[in-house]
Amino acid sequence: MTEETQGFQADDSKEQKAQNKSLLSKGLPSKGRPADEVSALVEQRLSSDLAFTSGNILGSMCSQPHPFAASIFQQQLAKNIGDPGLHPALAEMEAETIRILGSLCGNPKAVGSIVTGGTEANLLAMWTAKNNTPKESREVVLPETAHFSFDKAASLMDLTLVKVPVDPHNRVKLDEYLQAVGPRTMALVAIAGTTGLGAVDPISEIAKIAEKHHLYLHVDAAFGGFVLPFLEAAGYPVGDAAEAVNSEAADSEVTSGSGQTVPLKAPAVFDFSLAGVSSITLDPHKMGRTPIPAGCILYRNEEIAGSSTTHVSYLAGGKTRQRTIVGTRSGAAVAAVWASLQHIGFDGYRDTVRRCMQNTYFLKNRIDAMSGIETVIPPVMNVLGIRPSQGTSEELAESLRARGFALSLFPGFLRITLMPHLNQSHLENFLQVLQDTLQETVNAMQKIQKEEPNIHSNRNQGENDAR
């Protein structure tokens, strides 16, 4: 080491020390501050974030948790279900929760776990499929609309994703799906409630492909799992998946006796009642009204699930096994899911779905009646895609955000999720703001055209051409 570099190092460490000192002054306080002072600070520091209760979050798949579920979560905060030997009663509660959710998905004998969310559930499904499949088969056939958690799975497990295009209603194209299946196929994926538009793939047809070729089929019902089982009881029609794919009639909206439009039919079955389905993701922390984190992975049977079990030699006398990616796991989430299912019940979830669907159609009908904006597909569940006819979706998202409304931005459209925290007065507020925003775009366009009459400003030409 030369003197010069030594000198530099000495200076550096001096600087470093000064920096550390300033960091420490902003870092861990040497003496703890009083709880009420910190609590006020937390409230003050976070008050500028959007809240579900304000009605301004229109693009999230999460919602304000049911207050009862939140209270149970709080009550059981210390429980770690990753060490079930400490909490055998909670472990039994988890098993019971899985049986209830399995029944909701056509199989009371399903096995599985309450996990951190849809991402962990999808990763587990892909891990389990991998463990059940020979090494040469590492391709996953899935719709191009699949959630990005499958990209994470591919990167983590060195899988190849074969992404299949979708039809104008956002359902995967069956003929192309079938063509993508080959000798290297490890698993098939179908979606019951796509992230962008809430569409449902032709799952019964895909299940037949899985059965015929003895392939693992995972259904991602992270969103739809707490919607589809209640749709019919809520007064919204469900039909056969094949019918929805093949018949022209099912491709269009129908008008009910009351003159209201009703949705495209969702398939009557998406779940284990189809023999080819191996596993299902469904998320209580989306439409199940529980606090975050709560996802769920369900497997058809023990034989399938068994391949992704880790035996832990030192916990609970060496008898512990884990079937999740995380180790320490929220027991409060398990208790909150069980308690929500008991307290809300079938009728409660049906009513929630009905209210969310009514809000979806309320908003859709009002947006359809506006100029300068259109809906992307007739909704199947409580997800609505909208796009402006002038300006881009990005610009509209930005203008709405500047006015305090958060929507999700997908290529070519904005997503609105009509979650339980939204009511009609929130939607009226939003519609007014949307109307003003669109009017502003029209005014801006007119001004440009007046000032520069030879320039036909149409910055969104590319987006419009792609439709």
* Contact positions vs ligand 0PR (CB under 6 A): 60-62, 117-119, 122, 147, 149, 191, 193, 195, 220, 222-223, 283, 295, 408
State the minimum distance, in angstroms, from the CB of residue 260 to ligand 0PR.
27
State the minimum distance, in angstroms, from the CB of residue 278 to ligand 0PR.
17
Nearer to ligand 0PR, 191 or 238 (CB): 191
State the minimum distance, in angstroms, from the CB of residue 207 to ligand 0PR.
18
State the minimum distance, in angstroms, from the CB of residue 211 to ligand 0PR.
23
Nearer to ligand 0PR, 137 or 360 (CB): 360
Nearer to ligand 0PR, 61 or 101 (CB): 61
Instruction: Specify the pairing of strand 383-388 against strand 373-375.
Output: antiparallel
Q: DSSP letters along 324-337, please?
A: SS-SS-BHHHHHHH
End-to-end CA distance of the chain: 64
State the minimum distance, in angstroms, from the CB of residue 222 to ligand 0PR.
3
Nearer to ligand 0PR, 83 or 220 (CB): 220
Residue 219 and residue 146 in contact, taking contact as beta carbons nearer than 8 Å: no
State the minimum distance, in angstroms, from the CB of residue 257 to ligand 0PR.
33
State the minimum distance, in angstroms, from the CB of residue 65 to ligand 0PR.
13
Instruction: Specify the pairing of strand 295-299 against strand 111-115.
Output: antiparallel
Residue 435 and residue 403 in contact, taking contact as beta carbons nearer than 8 Å: no
Nearer to ligand 0PR, 56 or 390 (CB): 56
CA 357 to CA 224: how far, in whole Å? 13
216-220 sheet: strands from edge to edge? 111-115, 295-299, 279-282, 216-220, 185-191, 139-143, 160-164
Beta bridge partners of 310: 322
CA 338 to CA 60: how far, in whole Å? 24
Nearer to ligand 0PR, 293 or 391 (CB): 293
Contacts of 416 (CB under 8 A, 6+ apart): 58, 59, 363, 383, 384, 385, 386, 407
